[in-house]
Homo-oligomer: A and B are copies of this chain.
Amino acid sequence: MPVKSNIFTIASQTGYSVSTVSRVLTGQAEKYRISKKAIDLITATARQVNYQPDLVAQTLRTRQSHTIGLLVPGIDNPFFATLSGIIINLLACRGYHTLLADSRELEQEEEQALQMFKGRKVDGIIAVPVATSAANLEKIGRDIPVVLIDRHFKKTTLPYVCTDNYAGARMATEFLLKRGYKSILAIQGVTTSMPNQERLRGFTESIEGKPIKYAIAGDTFSVENGRDQVIKAFREGKRPFDAIFAFSATILLGTIDALRELNLKVGKDVGVISFDNNGFLDFLDPAVTRVEQPLREVSELAVATLFEIIEARRDGLRDPDLIQKLIPPALAVRSSC
């Protein structure tokens, strides 16, 4: 059980030079015309001493880490947890590893994570940005391929793949209107994030000019926010709205909780609609109508886009055509409104 085996020990054991060993072990044998005898001997001893290449040294030399940096603003949020899960597995399929960082919605931590990614020589970055400006990410993007996911910037040179939140919000709002609701409370999340802004835009553009009463409240994608806003709006027995549009599943949960506390029946007293496709929305009673984000599609396209850039740059070509795509979500109609 040799404690450590490297290319050098194999070299001396087989009598060949480290160069030859390296070329055999990296599959460059025939390119450099290594003899079959050498190949066999080297691979055999490599297996025998259980050789595992030092990926750190390899990275240092080749400038390729086979690692992607994944940056999310809150891995404890089930939405980002699911997203991360999908992406990690997609990357694993391509033989890439994932360095995961959580910015916790803080620009400063985002910046730190990006520096760390750079120092670790990741081959690419997939990020749900929290910064208000694209500047920082664009700068990094010149060194390392970056693809934004879920959130994007208005005018940016960076590729992104996101849900079409504007379209989604329109679908949801129009659905509520068609159902005859007359006064709607929209509870939003982080106001600086693009998904939130787009959902808000979709909501207001669908509703403005119509004889509908509405209000917008809230400022975080959290259960507490959902709860607080509903309590505040419906306090003291008032019932100022007949429908609620929760801008995320977490907000929805808070909403449900508050309505229960207020003794209002979801679907009967107050119609409820939500965003996100957390499976458990189907297990609530009543199941909640929501705009389901095409998470898998978004992730797959983002990963594919990233690798196109990586490969192009690796081959010394310039970046492929800029991909900035919004994938339309789907309305999953249940009985909450």
Residues of A within 8 A of B (CB): 52-57, 59-60, 65, 67, 74-76, 78, 81-82, 84-86, 88-89, 92, 97-102, 104, 115-116, 118-121, 223, 253, 256-257, 260, 279-280, 282-285
Assess the A121–B56 pair: CB atoms within 8 A: yes
Shortest Cβ distance from residue A201 to the other chain B in the assembled complex, whole angstroms = 29
Q: How far is the CB of A211 from chain B (nearest CB, A)?
A: 33
Q: Quick check: A82 and B86 within 8 Å, CB to CB?
A: no
Q: How far is the CB of A142 from chain B (nearest CB, A)?
A: 9
- Give 14 pairs: A residue, B residue, CB < 8 Å, sorted on A: A56-B59, A56-B120, A67-B99, A75-B81, A76-B85, A76-B86, A76-B89, A81-B81, A97-B99, A98-B99, A98-B101, A99-B99, A284-B285, A285-B285
The CA-CA distance from A57 to B55 in the complex, in Å, is 11
Query: Are A88 and B102 interface neighbours, CB within 8 A?
Result: yes
Q: Is the CB of B100 within 8 A of A88?
A: yes
Which one of B57, B81, B84, B115 lies within 8 Å of A82 (CB-CB)?
B81
Copies in the complex: 2
Assess whether B75 is in contact with A88, with CB atoms less than 8 Å apart. Answer: yes
- Set of chain B residues within 8 Å of A53, measured between Cβ atoms: 119
Cβ A102 vs Cβ B81 within 8 A: no
Cα separation A76 to B79 with both chains bound (whole Å): 10
Complex: A164 Cα to B75 Cα, angstroms: 26
Interchain CB contact under 8 A, B282 and A280: no
In the assembled complex, the Cα of A253 lies from the Cα of B52 at a distance in Å of 43
Give the chain B neighbours of A98 by CB distance below 8 A: 99-101
